[in-house]
Amino acid sequence: MSRRKYKIKPAPAGGVNSPWRHLPNGISLFRVILIPVMFWLSLSGHNLMALIVFCVAALSDLLDGWLAHRFHWHTHFGSLLDPVADRLFILCLIPLLWSYGSISGVYTTLVIVRFSIQLSVVPVLFWWLKKEVMIAPGLLSKAAMALAFLVLGMGFAEQVAIEYFPETSGAEKIFEQTLDALTLLGALLEIWVLVRFVPRYWHIIRGEKDLLE
């Protein structure tokens, strides 16, 4: 498992002179900009367009990481921006799908709590306490993030199914049962990640540890 040390300082060597080196950061910001667009599309009843925009946003998450690794366009700002953009994206859109009844309140609450705590890492550790911390996301943490994106996608797809398929088709029931299973698994993952993350976060604030998983 790789461990990366995050600290705001000049960009590392390797692709640093490329005029395209900030493209991954721009893609991450683009993902954040898509949040209000998806809100407007979904609330306006343009469910298919909302699903398409979601797919674009999800692909952008893969693209910015691939570009950064493929062409060595790594920046310390980008190392912070990408996970922050991912969490903001999910944190803002999960409650929307909960309001539609697509996602359980328990899963929604757990995601909001975890991502809110994790987003506090930047202002608390890096800006306020100015700590140099190593971040090594564990396999379960990555799985919980991937599952959250999948739940979002299924939730928006369910709205499309409700709009375009008759009730007799059974499509809505299939999506409902699938989302119930995914959110149950997601809730278990979120609890496990929180149980591991919160105590370690507290130890880092107290200066007892320097690795955040």
Residue 8 included in any domain = no
Contact 147, 116 (CB under 8 A): no
Element (H, E) at 66: helix 47-70
Residue 87 included in any domain = yes
Residue 40 included in any domain = yes
The amino acid present at 114, given as its one-letter code, is: R
DSSP 120: T
Residue 84 included in any domain = yes
3-state secondary structure of 92: helix
Number of structural domains (the chain) is 1
Residue 9 included in any domain = no
Element (H, E) at 133: strand 133-135
3-state helix, strand, coil in the chain (%, to 5): 75, 5, 25
Contact 32, 85 (CB under 8 A): yes
- CA 28/CA 205 separation, integer angstroms: 28
* Structural domain of 138: 20-212
Model pLDDT, residue 6: 44
Model pLDDT, residue 4: 46
Q: Give the mean pLDDT per block of 10 residues along the chain (213 residues).
A: 44 61 92 96 97 96 89 79 91 96 95 91 77 73 94 96 88 92 96 91 76 64
Model pLDDT, residue 133: 64
Residue 3 included in any domain = no
- CA 187/CA 190 separation, integer angstroms: 5
**Residue 134: partners with Cβ closer than 8 Å, 6 or more residues away:** 3, 4, 5, 6, 210, 211, 212
Pick the closest to residue 159 from 134, 179, 188, 183 (CA basis): 179
Residue 134 included in any domain = yes
3-state secondary structure of 210: coil
- CA 184/CA 196 separation, integer angstroms: 19
Residue 91 included in any domain = yes
Give me the CATH number covering residue 61: 1.20.120
pTM here is: 0.84
- Using one digit for the tens of pLDDT, what is the confidence trace for 30-88? 999 999 999 999 999 999 999 999 999 999 999 998 998 888 887 777 777 888 899 99
